[in-house]
Structure 1
């Protein structure tokens, strides 16, 4: 059984290594999800990564959650890591259904979970929370955009966010990026990073290996190509259900230029929101300042219990 590395807190206290259990399950014909489980606490926290990452983005967060008494599930969502890369199903409502089936049909969870989503993972987590409102206790949005909000429409139309349009083009991004995945992915990490030491060469290699697998970059671009459907679905959720009433935490890096916009997007869809500003972090919060992020996350998850 794999062990996560021991992490040292700022005050010198050590967090014990957390045994990890890896597994892959069939969600539907032709689609399987790889996931990692750690801990055995009575409450479950589900961690959903973004692009261009995998479950490995939570390597520092998982042992701290386990030490605080939580069970943690970190999947590779559809199209990423060691999960299947089908041709379709990248709208976030379908991806949320994947996670729901993983948790309830395969892991046999009976109690509601707390959802933590970074980047695209937040889009999936939000669709999950709106689709299965009785199955979620807390939602954590980690520096992430959200289709269906007015602010997202502004972001998508801004030429500075060129990747929204470029990745939406059919076939061309795959052709141009092929063979240049290292340079392309490195740009994405560097562009919004405050702490360059946060993602080591070995960490980056793990991500690069994942995204040079057959179909991986195509699957990543399909996440963007589903934005129109995501927008339609999320606006439908609000029209039918209204804003989320559960506690919602918005974690933003203090150096992230989009932090105010992220806060505004979450306020459009949730009533009870709290902001966690993480010092020394840009977009990759759980990796750039893992201890401050985990401390704020654990404090938030202890609320209303």
Structure 2
């Protein structure tokens, strides 16, 4: 598979993105799937599913979101509506005309959800995975858990605290801290091997990267206000929404109720024998769920 790495500049932000398959106008089927990663990862979390998706005839786009990987790390703009507009500018730059399928994982799910609310006519289908949506009752319920040992999202409180205490406490222990998430939130701790963890840690120890990553969490209050406002103004999403999550993760028990708050047409499917990192723990199952949801392969 030929992966193409490129850069795109827009409004002072440089986005690194990776593509596979025929771009629009090159004679392909002109169907696009956009893969948006979470924290603490980059486009690489989708490396195991990009080839089968490309083989199915998709134009696959996997950006590093603002603040991550090879993308620039501005001081602000980490609310998810701004990040959705980054994605919109990239797809316009690539010449994507037809409605797309979006797949967002972890905090990337919040970006794709924001995109679907801002540009609903440009989204054919939305696939979401492994994150609570700020502004929903489910989000408040999940984060209300305060017992450390029972709280899968304890780091939301830590990372979201104002000031730079989180950066200071993590500094010097980045590898151990970041890798602990890959191990503790997985059903198979070997799914993200040491060499892949080293890729991610190198990206998140680049100048400004840890600060930028934590800003994603600090923007949750703004995200909640934005999500509640747009839901009040526009109503629920109308396009089909698929939620997929690992059977060993927190997401599946809350997914249907949470998404029913914001979308009319919701399907929830499990990824068996997986924790949080579904595209690396069980890539074949993820691809199969995408095929079934989007109408098959090539």
Q: Shared fold by TM > 0.5? A: yes
Pair 1:44-2:32 in alignment: yes
1-structure distance, mates of 2:251, 2:110: 16
State the 1:263 CA deviation. Answer: 2.9
1:102-153, Cα deviation, whole Å (9 max, x unpaired): 111x112111111000011110000000001111000001122111100101
Preserved contact between residue 247 and residue 272 of structure 2 (Cα < 8 Å): yes
Aligned position for 1:97: 85
State the 1:69 CA deviation. Answer: 0.9
Aligned position for 1:162: 154
1:212-238, Cα deviation, whole Å (9 max, x unpaired): 101111111100100010000001111
1:245-289, Cα deviation, whole Å (9 max, x unpaired): 111100011111332113321121111111121111011011100
TM superposition score normalised by structure 2: 0.93
Classify the secondary structure of the residue corresponding to 1:154. Answer: helix
Pair 1:19-2:2 in alignment: yes
State the 1:157 CA deviation. Answer: 2.6
- Give me the CA root mean square deviation: 1.1
User: 1:21–1:147: structure 2 CA closer, same or farther, 3 Å change rule?
Assistant: same
Aligned 1:1-305 pairs, distance under 5 A: 18-29=1-12, 31-40=13-22, 41=28, 42-104=30-92, 106-159=93-146, 160=151, 161-169=153-161, 170-302=163-295
Classify the secondary structure of the residue corresponding to 1:245. Answer: coil
State the 1:67 CA deviation. Answer: 1.0
2-structure distance, mates of 1:258, 1:248: 15
Aligned position for 1:5: none
Which range moves more in the overlay, 252-261 or 48-57?
252-261
Count of residues in Structure 1 that have an aligned counterpart in Structure 2: 284
TM superposition score normalised by structure 1: 0.91
Classify the secondary structure of the residue corresponding to 1:271. Answer: coil
State the 1:195 CA deviation. Answer: 1.3
For structure 2, list consecutive stretches of 5 or more residues without a partner in the other structure.
23-27
2-structure distance, mates of 1:66, 1:258: 28
2-structure distance, mates of 1:142, 1:258: 8
Preserved contact between residue 81 and residue 223 of structure 2 (Cα < 8 Å): yes
User: 1:81–1:28: structure 2 CA closer, same or farther, 3 Å change rule?
Assistant: same
Which range moves more in the overlay, 288-297 or 187-196?
187-196
2-structure distance, mates of 1:86, 1:25: 15
Classify the secondary structure of the residue corresponding to 1:59. Answer: helix
